[in-house]
Amino acid sequence: MYSKKDRSASKGSIRIGLVGHMFMGVAHSNAYRNAGIWYDVPAEIVMKAVCAKDSEENLNAFARKFGWEETEDDWRRLVSRPDIDVVSVAVPGNLHKSIVVEAARQGKHVLCEKPLANSLGDAVEMLAEVQKAGVRHCCGFSYRSTPATALAARWVAEGRLGQIYHVYARYAQDWPSTPEFPMTWRFDRQVAGSGALGDLAAHSIDLAHFITSLEFSEVCANLQTFIHERSLPTGERAKVTVDDAAQFLCKFDNGATGCFEATRMAVGRKNQNRIEVNGSKGSLYWDFEEQDYLYYYDRCLPAPEQGFTKINATHDQHPYGGGPWPQGHGIGYADTFVIEIANFLRSVVENQEFHPDFGDGVKVQRVLAAVERSAAERRWVRVEEV
């Protein structure tokens, strides 16, 4: 875990190539630009080249805006360049496997956005390739890099909650909740893999793994599509082939139960990402809408003193130093990527194990596959079956 920036001399350089320049490409670019400013990354971060499918004019404008030295129009050329050490993958899921596999074979360390792939089989193959190549790898579950969620994981590991009984998680958005919202790649299963399930529930599943260290053993799921067609720019209608909402019950390996929901149809919810854990000694919950805070209930206190305590997790003694700003000043969405990338690049330079890695990505992918099978077959499915 990182300390805040000590302005000492850098120790060599680490050269980055980015594939993708939309939403996640922006998040990655901002993080690479700022990771070495706010945290002690033991090398100079060189933003070498960005590659995307766009006009030369637009791609050059993106590179100038975010500080990339060069552009490429073919990801194969980018991943084979000898002047690039790390490849960052920020494109739709149907492209993840081919880029990651080739990057690994070229000896590049890889950061790939979540979910790791569009299928469990592809995710397993990607993990095998990076392990065979001996490169470092990160799956982009950025919410692990929030001080409050890392504090939750620390306290569960210390036994403050006792035996875990329940995990409740809800990730809710509303951006495509009207029929007038047009067709995009996120509604096409061939490109996106799934809808709210992979886009949102993947984060909740990983946070459950991260905070509790429990393994999902069995799931019972429902997937629902509410808007079945959307408009193309031509005015024609296209079929939506992914879920708008996903719900599933689960059992964990210690006997605990869970209730998970992911939806992009919750009108009024812009990015509610919430997880609650109940144990024999206490409870905690975290919500991205108050991302700097962890709520903690200590059942072991005298009865008159019991109640949820709202903890501002921005002190320098909190995980990740509480963020780059002075205590109480808070962090934002973009800062989680800065922390994630700073930690990942340190692991690359120092050749140290890193999490969340592709192994964590495969664990999430296996749960996603079990949820899809359960919804299709209308039954409880053991995760080990898939």
Residue 209 confidence class, pLDDT cut points 50, 70, 90 = very high
Residue 1 confidence class, pLDDT cut points 50, 70, 90 = very low
Given a cut of 70, whether residue 6 has pLDDT beyond it is no
**Mean predicted confidence (pLDDT) in 301-324:** 97
Given a cut of 70, whether residue 162 has pLDDT beyond it is yes
Distance CA 337, CA 191 (A): 24
Residue 331 confidence class, pLDDT cut points 50, 70, 90 = very high
Rounded to two decimals, the pTM is: 0.96
Compare 6 and 374 and report the one with higher pLDDT: 374
Given a cut of 90, whether residue 3 has pLDDT beyond it is no
Given a cut of 90, whether residue 259 has pLDDT beyond it is yes
| Helix/strand/coil for 243 | coil
Distance CA 37, CA 40 (A): 8
**All domains in the chain, ordered by first residue:** 13-143 (3.40.50.720), 147-290+292-328+357-377 (3.30.360.10)
Given a cut of 90, whether residue 7 has pLDDT beyond it is no
**Biggest alpha carbon–alpha carbon distance for the chain:** 66
The 3-class SS string of 109-173 reads: EEEEECCCCCCHHHHHHHHHHHHHHCCCEEEECHHHHCHHHHHHHHHHHCCCCCCEEEEEEEEEC
Q: Is the peptide bond before 92 cis (omega within 30 degrees of 0)?
A: no
Contact 243, 261 (CB under 8 A): no
Given a cut of 60, whether residue 146 has pLDDT beyond it is yes
- What tens digit of pLDDT does each residue of 333-365 get? 999 999 999 999 999 999 999 999 999 999 999
User: Which residue in 101, 82, 107 sits closest to 15, CA to CA?
Assistant: 82
- What tens digit of pLDDT does each residue of 78-119 get? 999 999 999 999 999 999 999 999 999 999 999 999 999 999
Return the pLDDT at 9.
33
Given a cut of 90, whether residue 2 has pLDDT beyond it is no
DSSP-derived secondary structure letter, 302: -
- What tens digit of pLDDT does each residue of 15-67 get? 999 999 999 999 999 999 999 999 999 999 999 999 999 999 999 999 999 99
- What tens digit of pLDDT does each residue of 282-304 get? 999 999 999 999 999 999 999 99
Beta bridge partners of 263: 172, 245
Given a cut of 80, whether residue 239 has pLDDT beyond it is yes
Token code pair at residue 303: 């009865």
Distance CA 172, CA 179 (A): 18
Return the pLDDT at 11.
58
Name the average pLDDT for the chain. Answer: 96
Return the pLDDT at 10.
40
Contact 251, 367 (CB under 8 A): no
Strand pairing of 13-19 and 44-51?
parallel
**Mean predicted confidence (pLDDT) in 239-245:** 98
Distance CA 155, CA 174 (A): 32
Given a cut of 70, whether residue 5 has pLDDT beyond it is no
List, as one string, the DSSP characters of 181-220: SPP-GGG-HHHHSSSHIIIIIHHHHHHHHHHH---EEEEE
